[in-house]
Structure 1
Amino acid sequence: MKEASNLSNRSIGRSRPYHSTLRQKQAAATRELILQALTQQLAEEGLQDFSIADAAQRAGVATRTIYRYFPNREVLLDAVGEWVDQQLGDLPYPTTPMEVADLAEQAFPQFEQQAVLVQALLASELGKSVRSRLRSKRRQSVETALSSLAGDLDSAKAVRAVIGHLVTAETWKHLRDEFGVSGDASAKAVAWAIRTLIADLEHRH
């Protein structure tokens, strides 16, 4: 009897890692469903803010489940921002001026593929909150990458600001909506413009 009990305990001990891994996978899947539901809200025309109750219904979970994964708005927005970044292909953070041009070539086609989501990020209140988190990190990396160009000359500062503006979702959207330029075409044009500006600043310096 004692031997059977020991065998049973050993069996339970061996099963724990499996159950632990299963719970982790289930938790990751639930988290993904919640983030997808919130992002669907972003993509809806006219959406101005998110609804926890609506997200719970979409994801097929209880409202309290969302709060268990995301206890407050800040944690939730950060998570949505990271998830959106993944949907856009985990775009790199440039470290050199020429990598800023490369970023435009990579980003604009991704914006085109996720056009509904990106336009929602630009238009909705939730989108603006999420985007401000993503943008602050990337803008800082762009500014750092361009900081070596032509020192502190006022003209150089203005050009660096122009380059920083060119490599944004707003530029992609403006070229798309106002001029009908595709993501691939605008990526090439903006990358060319950035490289031309960089070359001119380096020549003058």
Structure 2
Amino acid sequence: MSKEKSDRRSYTSPLRSNQKENTRDRILDTLAEIISEGRILDFTVKDVAIRAGISYGTVYRHFPTRESFLEALYEAASTIIAQSAPFIPQSLDDIPAMAGNTLKIFEEKANLVQAFTIALLVNNVKPKSRNQRDQKIQALVIENAPHLSAGAVKETAAIISHLCSSLTWTTLKQRYELNSEETTEAMNWALQVLINSLTGHEKD
């Protein structure tokens, strides 16, 4: 084989890579629409392909199973949120403000956030990114509240993680019909009260 042919085969077109990524995003956007309509239990790869206007084979190459669909949906939303509102607190006191920034992204990407929240609940998906955040919060609880027992640390970290989650946001908005401002205020208040009780001081 000539060097020219070898180089041609090894070359990866940036345009082709972008098209592939755009196709993936289009598929996930379509999936979010379907799930938001309440079809989490009965959608198929074919349903997504038809709605997106993409061939079944193309969709299948990206997402061969329902589980891969749902995992990718969560990771896509997590990436958007992490890029827009990075969750890198240095102490427990940083968490309420960071949670507030995350809630703004939830509002901006409401359709996507609602879809992956439903997907998590129904299918018990446990993405790696969520586990990493939970571990970060638990480490902060240990560092900032050394007086707690191992069991109390686990319980406290679980509550903080839940209060920062899209599930809490969705529940307050849908079940209790709080508006965006009320939802943010309620979640921030609960976080602040809990963290103040752990650190032993009140914030102004």
TM-score, structure 1 as length reference: 0.71
Distance 1:69 1:25 in 2: 14
1:193 has 2:193 as partner: no
Residue pair 2:137, 2:161 contacting (<8 A) in 1 also:
yes
* SS of match in other structure, 1:148: helix
* SS of match in other structure, 1:180: coil
> What letter matches 1:33 in structure 2?
R
Distance 1:71 1:123 in 2: 20
* SS of match in other structure, 1:119: helix
1:62-81 alignment, distance < 5 Å: 62-73=55-66, 75-81=68-74
- Alignment length, in residue pairs? 190
Q: Please, which of 150, 164, 168 is the counterpart of residue 161 of structure 2?
A: 164
Query: Following TM superposition, by how much is the alpha carbon of 1:130 offset from its aligned partner in structure 2, in angstroms?
Result: 7.9
> What letter matches 1:146 in structure 2?
V
Q: Please, which of 86, 92, 97 is the counterpart of residue 92 of structure 1?
A: 86
Distance 1:146 1:50, change over 3 A: farther
Partner residue, 2:13: 20
Query: Following TM superposition, by how much is the alpha carbon of 1:46 offset from its aligned partner in structure 2, in angstroms?
Result: 4.2
* SS of match in other structure, 2:146: coil
Query: Following TM superposition, by how much is the alpha carbon of 1:79 offset from its aligned partner in structure 2, in angstroms?
Result: 2.4
Partner residue, 2:29: 36
Q: Which runs of 5+ in 2 are unaligned?
A: none
C-alpha distance after superposition, 1:77-114 (max 9, x if no partner): 33222222245464423333123212321222333344
Partner residue, 1:140: 135
Partner residue, 1:123: 118
Distance 1:57 1:140, change over 3 A: same
Distance 1:114 1:80 in 2: 13
Residue pair 1:78, 1:130 contacting (<8 A) in 2 also:
no
> What letter matches 2:17 in structure 1?
Q
Q: Which runs of 5+ in 1 are unaligned?
A: 1-8
Tell which structure's C-alpha radius of gyration is larger.
Answer: 1
Distance 1:59 1:177 in 2: 27
TM-score, structure 2 as length reference: 0.71
C-alpha distance after superposition, 1:48-78 (max 9, x if no partner): 2431101111222221112223345554433
* SS of match in other structure, 1:132: coil
Residue pair 1:37, 1:55 contacting (<8 A) in 2 also:
yes
Percent of aligned pairs with the same residue?
30
Query: Following TM superposition, by how much is the alpha carbon of 1:21 offset from its aligned partner in structure 2, in angstroms?
Result: 2.5
